[in-house]
Amino acid sequence: QSVLTQPPSASGTPGQRVTISCSGSSSNIGSKNVYWYQQFPGTAPKVLIYRNDQRPSGVPDRFSGSKSGTSASLAISGLRSEDEADYYCAAWDDSLSGHVFGGGTKLTVL
């Protein structure tokens, strides 16, 4: 059971906008920055969003992050087949004194 809660799966058709939610608590998302990672099968994860809504250089602006209270969301607009991957949210947890991840969301592009 992950500390951060994500839907196990999400899907969309090319061109659509898809959002992936990440629910936490006051000890993590409610008071700390949220990070999003993208992972393709057989490869290491890559940071997609840092500090809630910031994109590293090289990440398309189709990807955006937001946070409200104890929840965060990753939005992908103009969905493309190459976006099919696993997505994880993460944050520091003050109660656990450690980093925590969501269980991951497998995105399928139909």
Partner 1 sequence: EVQLVESGGGLVQPGGSLRLSCAASGFTFSSYDMHWVRQPTGKGLEWVSGIGSAGDTYYAGSVKGRFTISRENAKNSLYLQMNSLRAGDTAVYYCARGSEGFDPWGQGTLVTVSS
Residues lying near partner 1 in the complex (CB under 8 A): 2, 35, 37, 39, 44-47, 50-51, 54, 56, 88, 90, 96-104
Question: How many Cα atoms within 13 Å fall on the side-chain side of residue 7?
Answer: 12
Neighbours of 32 (CB within 10 A): 20
Helix (H) or strand (E) holding 23: strand 18-23
CB 7, CB 87: distance < 8 Å: no
Least distance to partner 1 from the beta carbon of 47, Å?
A: 4
Residue closer to partner 1 by CB (options 44, 82) is 44
Helices (H), the chain: none
To partner 1, the closest distance from the beta carbon of 103 in angstroms equals 5
Considering beta carbons, is residue 17 or 99 the nearer one to partner 1?
99
- The residue among 10 and 47 lying less far from partner 1, judged by its C-beta, is 47
